[in-house]
Amino acid sequence: MDARSVIRAVRDGEGLTADGAAWFARGLADGAVSDAQAGAFAMAVLLKGIGAPGRVALTQAMRDSGSVLQWDMPGPVIDKHSTGGVGDSVSLLLAPALAACGCYVPMISGRGLGHTGGTLDKMESIPGYRALPGIEVLRKVVGEVGCAIVGATGEIAPADKRLYGIRDISGTVESIDLITASILSKKLAAGLEGLILDVKVGSGAFMANADDARALAKSLVETANGAGCKTTALITDMNQPLGLCAGNALEVIEVMETLTGTAVSGALWDITAALGGEALVLAGLAADAEEGAERIDEALETGRAAEIFGKMVAALGGPVDFVERYPDRLPAAPVMRAITAPRDGFIASIDTRALGEAVVHLGGGRLVGSDKINPSVGLSEMRMIGEAMGEGDPLMLVHASDAAHADAAEAAVRAAYHFSDEPPEEPPLIHERIGI
């Protein structure tokens, strides 16, 4: 078997066999497959597809191209993945809440992609936090604390790392087959028993269209279950930011306020409870999603999730008093500016992608891979669809490094908000559940 025969079979609509997928993934990892061959393979998959069996084969092959973690824990090993949004800091709430309910959560996360925020970038706004500690530290922290939010090292799914870069430069990012295998190969390499997926849809999601989001959710759920990992997905709304803040340190503050009960973010809490409820069913720790959500609520309300979050931060190099002193430990931007409503009326719609791009251009994300993130910048106190506004009422606060960046963000925010004289229909938080 060689690269040409695998590419030719996919190109001619014959699909991808398990043997072909295994050979190609090994070749991606060890360099036997050239960049040109990887690009040809990705384009053939985009144009012809590989079907459900091919997606399972490619996912398992890329998973097995590196280390696959094995666990010997007294409870189920569970994780969550989001396809990315704006103001979405659910992972920071859910990991410790699941741990408080008896799960073990090796949450291997990513950095910001495009206009969407990255879980690792948020955690790295905490001084001293080590987001890339290596597999042995991950094992130790998960075993002792119950959860660890970290990034993937080169040992995890190296075939995906190679193919991911090729997809970006070969115009094949949109392939649902390749998206599915990319997401799941990294997650399943963590040795999970169950996975809950948060597939975003709307103006701030990569899948803005409901049909596309549903197709991706079904592909992910069918493939993960086919690869032996119990998986369910919720399709959740991203027609407006999920939280009231967007920006790394600002989102951590919102999480800490919610964990400690200082100022609860209702939408963040509700999505965390819904996803956590489904995860506890997969883990065998709840009879149904409603019971599971109640257990997540209790973990948040009692402060047990906050306690575990603090232990995780300390175990990974952050401040030992982070839960008690988080306002003092996180960086703050030197310029804060209130953006006001231009007219009376109701917020009718929000271009959520534009708000995410505004955070990126403030310095809260990367325009090129080498950019250094400013963790202090972003947007806070954002107003949401359906809220009644008077002319001059605050829409949000911009946190910027200087006046010029604040000016640009103000222009972007004003263009992103649309008003009406009549109250609009507010989008639901959860659109659909996809299961087997």
List active site positions: 79-82, 119, 167, 182, 186-187
- Angle between helix axes 90-100 and 266-282 (nearest 10 degrees) is 50
Cβ neighbours of residue 300 under 8 Å, at least 6 residues apart?
93, 97, 258, 259, 269, 272, 273
3-state secondary structure of 136: helix
How many CA atoms are closer than 13 Å to the CA of 165, on its beta-carbon side? 10
Q: Provide the H-helix boundaries in 316-435.
A: 322-329, 352-359, 403-416
**Tokens describing residue 417:** 């908000």
How many CA atoms are closer than 13 Å to the CA of 388, on its beta-carbon side? 3
Q: Is 427 left (phi over 0), alpha (psi -120 to 50) or beta?
A: beta
User: Please, are residues 44 and 83 in contact by the beta-carbon 8 Å criterion?
Assistant: no
| CA proximity to 325, closest of 344, 343, 310 | 310
* Number of other CB atoms surrounding residue 392 within 10 Å: 11
Separation of alpha carbons 12 and 426, rounded Å: 46
Sign of the CA dihedral 417, 356, 203, 258? Answer: negative
User: Please, are residues 315 and 138 in contact by the beta-carbon 8 Å criterion?
Assistant: no
Give the single-character DSSP code of 376: T
Separation of alpha carbons 330 and 351, rounded Å: 28
